[in-house]
Structure 1
């Protein structure tokens, strides 16, 4: 039975709701409430990026379902490795991917649990780059090398000059980063553990 704090993190007003299959997975895990809040925030930002890409760069061929599911589950492995919620570690990446695959989630959707930090790999596609971007810009963290990879993909797909693609991406990142304080406050309102409050 999910904790009251998890139920609140999943349902409180704020960022858009997670896809129902993801909600069920988090309830099955009795996931830490702060993790659920974090996943909602990254999913919300990813939805904004998907809408922006569809409007400004339709030739990218973004798989919206994959990006949104990927953003909603990218850190699900932290429910299995809760120390990584407030400290470093990468064990959550293969663990989250394995958990999703064991639950019948297809690789097209499950892969983001293990790829969301490996955007520098040469074969990383647009969907993975967007999930990685959402996972950083939600808290106003700008990663120049990641954004440069996106600029190259945007320019190649649209025929825009790289400086134009850079300006376009920079504008959307600035707009999204402007909401970081509100998002951080939302995430901090939920405990890392199942209790009512936590300072972690």
Structure 2
């Protein structure tokens, strides 16, 4: 996890379960990025932005703690505002607001990767998100869609294999 994010979580007295969740999504993002780098070394992605986004995507739950254990999207805009108020640039703070809505026309491949990491860490597969990411990947690499699909499917399956362990790790931390 980026040092600046760990320090911010400490300053905000973030709930332990939130910190654990952000760490797990950050780790899944690392695996996703590493796998994509192996599959498509020519792919240009802002790795540091994706890792920052994964490590902060739910930070707004500090302001909306009920969303730690229940549904809700108030944390998204609150997280973006929180990051901006702590001096993080808009191009990084945006991930807190975009991770739950990947269908926006302005979503970058980095936004989609943060959203994907937030799903795949627990083994969840979301077809429309995968399709959007696949479109962006093939658009950037020029690779054949079916070949890219098989590689992405394999990568997401491998990351998802550890979902039970990750879920148990997260559950071990109090809300």
Name the TM-score class by shorter chain. Answer: over 0.9
State the partner residue of 2:123. Answer: 140
Number of residue pairs the alignment of both structures matches: 175
- 3-state SS of paired residue (1:139): coil
Gaps of 5+ in 1: 1-17, 193-200
Q: What RMSD over aligned residues (CA atoms) do the two structures have, in Å? A: 0.9
1:81 deviates by 0.5
Query: 2 CA distance for matches of 1:58 and 1:153?
Result: 15
Instruction: Work out which of the residue numbers 48, 64, 69 in structure 2 matches 1:65.
Output: 48
1:92 deviates by 0.5
State the partner residue of 1:195. Answer: none
1:61 deviates by 1.2
TM-score in terms of structure 1 length: 0.85
Matched, 1:29 2:12: yes
Aligned pairs for 1:69-80 (under 5 A) are: 69-80=52-63
- 3-state SS of paired residue (2:42): helix
Gaps of 5+ in 2: none
Moved over 6 A (4+): none
Query: 1 CA distance for matches of 2:52 and 2:160?
Result: 21
- 3-state SS of paired residue (1:111): helix
Matched, 1:109 2:61: no
State the partner residue of 2:172. Answer: 189
Query: 1 CA distance for matches of 2:160 and 2:17?
Result: 20
State the partner residue of 1:86. Answer: 69
Q: Comparing 157-166 with 143-152, which one deviates more in the overlay? A: 157-166
TM-score in terms of structure 2 length: 0.97
